[in-house]
Amino acid sequence: MATPFFKKKDPAEKHREQGSGLAVEVKALDMDLEQAVDKEEFASIMSPASKANMDKKSLDLVFAVEQIIQSRQHTELNINELQDRLNHSNSHVDRLNRDTRNLNKVIEEREKNILELENKLVEKNLKVDQVMEDFRELQTEMSSETDELKNVIELERQKYSSLLQKHNEANADKNLKINDLEEKIGRLEVENTHLKQKYETMRQEKAYLANMISDFTSRMSLPLGQNQSKRIDGSDEH
What confidence tens digit (pLDDT) does each residue in 37-90 have?
Answer: 445 555 555 556 565 666 777 778 878 888 888 888 888 888 998 898 889 989
Q: Phi/psi class of residue 2: alpha, beta or left (left: φ > 0; alpha: ψ in -120 to 50)?
A: beta
Give CA–CA dist 165/151, Å, rounded: 21
Length of the chain: 238
Give CA–CA dist 136/143, Å, rounded: 10
**CB within 8 Å of 33: residues ≥ 6 apart:** 68, 72
For 202-221, what is each residue's pLDDT tens digit? 999 988 988 988 888 888 87
Percent of the chain with pLDDT over 70: 70
Higher pLDDT, 171 or 41: 171
Cα within 13 Å of Cα(38), Cβ side: 3
pLDDT tier at 5, thresholds 50, 70, 90: very low
Give CA–CA dist 49/32, Å, rounded: 26
Show contacts of 68-71: CB within 8 Å, 24+ apart.
68/33
Higher pLDDT, 223 or 140: 140
For 20-50, what is each residue's pLDDT tens digit? 554 455 455 455 544 444 455 555 555 565 6
pLDDT tier at 1, thresholds 50, 70, 90: very low
Q: Is the pLDDT of residue 184 over 70?
A: yes
Q: What is the average per-residue pLDDT within 101-108? A: 94
